[in-house]
Structure 1
Amino acid sequence: MKYKISLFLLFVFVLNSCQNEDEKRRAENEKEAKKKEVIFDNINKGWVFIDEPINEISEQKVSSWNEWRDFLKEIGDKPRKTIGAFQKKSTAISKKAMTLNNNIPAEFNVPAIKSRISILITKVKMMDLFIHLNQIPAEKVTFLIGEINKELVSLERQMDNIIVKSKIPKEQGEEDFLKMLDTTRAIPNTKVNPIPATNTDPNSPQRE
């Protein structure tokens, strides 16, 4: 009889332990789900990119610079529903950003533009890194989105400045002067062989 009672009490204890574990696990899952929901909401609200050219110059380049056009199109397509969709979109944006170094229009293929593209790519890659962490720091992701927007504006304004400066007429003679400088720089350094000395003494013996 005592054996049956002990067995019954053990069964009750195990049953209660299992129920407690289930409740604990359920509570942790709910807590994690709420945490992910907050992360999703914060990223969803902060996921706002400048996907339209801010000036006429950059707008014109959308039609001729395919990589630039594709990048703007990629950031303009906002994901929906799940954090996984944002992660997938972030990877796609990163890949498009990497192509911006390709086929840069001749007038923009200068250090000022290349350096800004490099900074833009770095910040896009950082965003992609953070959004793929197990514990996503939503505030860092949204901060980097703002930084990416700043770099986009900086890049487009630099493009505009280059075109404006190229349209400023040069002063009279300036172009010829610049060409002269280029020609001078292009002259190779040549070594002049010394002229051998000649004997001018009239009393010295002369060769027949």
Structure 2
Amino acid sequence: MMKYKLVYIFSLLLLLGSCKGEDEQKRIAENAKDAQKKKVIFENIKKGWDFYDEPINEATEEGVKTWNELRLFIQELAHKPKMTISAYQQKAKAISKKALALRNNVPELFNKPQIKTRISVLITKVRLMDMYIHLDEIPDKKVVQLVGEINKELATLQRQMDILTEKSKIPVEEGEDEMRRMLLDSARAIPNNPNMVLPNQSVIPASTRAIINPNDARVE
């Protein structure tokens, strides 16, 4: 009887050892598969991480000299991370922070609705990229797609800035600026109070005005 018990215990130990070995091999295989997947994601993001680097033309560059936020944002884009996916995650966070600052200190020449709109869209794209790259399961294709969309928004922003710069260089025709000021001053001078009396204007009581008909015959 004891002999059968020993055989049973020995067989059970072998079975448990076999199951444990299979579980260990399965875990190793899963870890290897996960590592390979992360490597592919990293390589795809590394390959697609190529930001717009066209230089701002000289005329527009003169207008953004005081816009440090734009300069710092472009500088942040220019430095590509290396080695690990965490480095790209840190870079995305830094880019997002610099993008949010673009709303500050916009030069007067570019402080226009069309520029503000482009900045808002650009910020949205950058924040989405930052969000996706920090997910547990990183959608590398989406991250790369957003890099391309950010480049598109940067190019559009620069074109809008160039247009405003060119418009600012068009000379105002002689007398046009003075005429605009005169029209503005005249508009400001028009009283909003109907009872207000302008120079050389007779005062007619409100009660009298109410009964006077301009079509009535006048007595000379």
Is this a same-fold pair by TM over 0.5? yes
Pairs aligned (count) = 198
Q: Hey, what's the Cα distance between the residues in 2 that align with 1:184 and 1:62?
A: 35
**1:206 corresponds to which residue?**
none
Q: Hey, what's the Cα distance between the residues in 2 that align with 1:62 and 1:73?
A: 14
**1:204 corresponds to which residue?**
none
**1:192 corresponds to which residue?**
195
**1:44-75 deviations in Å (ceiling 9; x for gaps):** 00000123524223433564321111101101
What SS does the aligned partner of 1:64 have? coil
- Unpaired segments of 5 or more residues in structure 1? 198-208
- Unpaired segments of 5 or more residues in structure 2? 197-202, 209-220
Residue 29 of structure 1 and its aligned partner are, at CA, apart by 0.6
Instruction: Verify the 8 A CA contact 1:127 1:144 in the aligned structure 2.
Output: yes
Matches within 5 A, 1:146-165: 146-165=148-167
Residue 131 of structure 1 and its aligned partner are, at CA, apart by 0.6
Q: Hey, what's the Cα distance between the residues in 1 that align with 2:65 and 2:171?
A: 27
Instruction: Verify the 8 A CA contact 1:57 1:159 in the aligned structure 2.
Output: no
- Kindly provide the amino acid, as one letter, of the partner of residue 166 in structure 2: V
Kindly indicate whether residue 48 of structure 2 is the aligned counterpart of residue 39 of structure 1: no
Residue 179 of structure 1 and its aligned partner are, at CA, apart by 1.7
Q: Hey, what's the Cα distance between the residues in 2 that align with 1:28 and 1:18?
A: 15
**1:50 corresponds to which residue?**
52
**2:111 corresponds to which residue?**
109
Tell me whether 44-53 or 18-27 shows the greater mean CA deviation.
44-53
TM-score (norm 1): 0.89
What SS does the aligned partner of 2:73 have? helix
Residue 162 of structure 1 and its aligned partner are, at CA, apart by 0.7
**1:70 corresponds to which residue?**
72
Q: Aligned pair in 2 of structure 1 residues 172, 190: CA closer, same or farther (>3 Å)?
A: same
Matches within 5 A, 1:130-169: 130-169=132-171
Q: Hey, what's the Cα distance between the residues in 2 that align with 1:100 and 1:58?
A: 16
